[in-house]
Amino acid sequence: MSAGLVTGRRPSVVVLDYGFGNVRSAVRALERVGADVELTADRARAQDADGLVVPGVGAFAAVMQGLRAVRGHEIVGRRLAGGRPVLGICVGMQVMFEQGDEHGTLADGLGEWPGLVDRLEAEIVPHMGWDTVDAPEGTVLFDGIQDERFYFVHSYAARSFPLGDDVPSGSSIRRPLVTWSDHGGRFVAAVENGPLSATQFHPEKSGDAGAALLENWVRTL
């Protein structure tokens, strides 16, 4: 895999700067795969970019507070309503769900997906290090890298994904593509749902495999 394979105009990507996340490493990783990247909380810039990345590190409730402080919830909602691509990373993925439960305290998320983010049921928490994923047929994010390992560091995750379960077989409605991993039980490792994609792991810390995933996403912009 070589970086910078996107041809023609470099897609514009805003990494949302709201005080939470390994933003510099994400910016560098996206630049290496051919994006024109800006780190900002400016609403107009975030709204107009070809792609928006929502990073996140730390507690679910604190990340939501940071997002609301820069009206990130409105930015994400309006982009998705207009079919504009958004990529959530780590807690930036978790807050796409309805709620997070940390230490018995529930916090509301962005509500783009139904479901709950809660503590992993494993002997060793946090789940930290390289791990495999089980990607579905038709995945774009994991095209060519289904068998690779990715870098995780988290204590909480969504352990179910009910959206699309009621879509009958053979329906023209496309179900979200859900990628799973396992640590004391399976959990959601990534989702591809129309313009909204997200990963529980850190692609910017996942070496060549993570770079390939980011390149796959940038190619869709």
**pLDDT per position as a tens digit, 87-104:** 999 999 999 999 999 988
With respect to residue 4, please indicate whether it lies within any of the assigned structural domains.
Answer: no
Provide the mean pLDDT of the chain: 93
Q: Per the domain annotation, does 136 fall within a domain?
A: yes
The answer to whether residue 98 is catalytic is no
Amino acid at 59: A
Residue 1 covered by a domain: no
User: β-pairing, 149-154 with 127-132?
Assistant: antiparallel
Specify the pLDDT at position 119.
Answer: 97
**Residue 112's domain is classified under what CATH number?**
3.40.50.880
Q: Out of 90, 127, 148, 183, which one is annotated catalytic?
A: 90
Q: How many folded domains does the chain comprise?
A: 1
Q: Is residue 7 part of a domain?
A: no
Calculate Rg over the CA atoms of the chain: 16
Element (H, E) at 33: none
Q: Is 202 a catalytic residue?
A: yes
DSSP 8-state secondary structure symbol assigned to residue 185: S
132: in domain:
yes
192 counts as catalytic = no
In a domain, 3, yes or no: no
Catalytic residue among 112, 148, 202, 215: 202
The domain in which residue 193 lies consists of 12-219
pLDDT tens profile 153-209: 999 999 999 997 776 666 667 899 999 999 999 999 999 999 999 999 999 999 999
Please give the pLDDT value at position 170.
65
Residue 194 lies in a domain: yes
Helices then strands, each counted (H, E), the chain: 6, 13
| Residue among 112, 148, 192, 204 flagged as catalytic | 204
Residue 5 covered by a domain: no
Model confidence pLDDT, tens digit, residues 9-32: 899 999 999 988 768 999 999 999
